Amino acid sequence: MAAPHPATKRPPLVRSLLLAIGLILGSMTLTGCGTDPRASAIEEIIASYQAEHPEVYKITVVDIEEQLKDFSDEKQFSMVVQTSVTDPSQIDINQLLPSGKALELTSTVDNLDDDIYLTLRNEARSQVKELVDAMPSAPTAALSVPMTLVEEDGKWIAAIDEAPTDDSFDATLVSSAMVRSTQWTQLASQMTAHIWKELIFPDAGIA
């Protein structure tokens, strides 16, 4: 019987290394990326809240697995989750609406009253938020979201204890955008007959 060709032989060290690499790769395949189920629960509840409240600025969870490392042994606990949100206060209106470009709203202005004011204000704010979210590199700020996590039947469930709000959405930005709209002329003309809302949209960004 012919002896194996020398090229087919592998030194013991090489065989050991190949075996070790195979075991490591096999382990990675079986265990996947090792995502913390608590992190998945937190991201899921944030995504759910965001879907139900599109008026709230864009929320992104920051390094959640790092935040969870101090709670490795608990089956139920509360924590303050750190997130990142869009910060319109740092944006110039000219970044959203280049000079000369107007904000076009669909609502009409007839017999100006509080209801029309709220409708126009909210429509303007909604469009401004869409423009901000579409920016390739919109500035962000930190936002803390208190949560409680509990494990039930092997599944982690997260609940938001204190819902985030959009109260800090920049009112000046919305007001400036509202001024640059076709409705502004209509509002201004009605103001000549009676002074209504001293500065028309002084709190345009507040819900």
pLDDT single digits (tens) 109-146: 777 777 777 788 888 888 888 898 888 888 888 889 99
In DSSP terms, which residues pair with 151 in a beta bridge?
156
- 36 and 68 in contact (C-beta within 8 Å)? yes
Q: What are phi and psi of 151, to 5 degrees?
A: -95, 125
Query: Per-residue pLDDT tens for 67-79?
Result: 999 898 889 999 9
Q: Is the pTM of this model over 0.95?
A: no
pLDDT band for 183, please (50, 70, 90 cuts). Answer: confident
| Residue pLDDT, tens place only, 13-51 | 544 544 444 444 433 333 334 589 999 999 999 999 988
In the chain, the N- to C-terminal Cα span, in Å, equals: 88
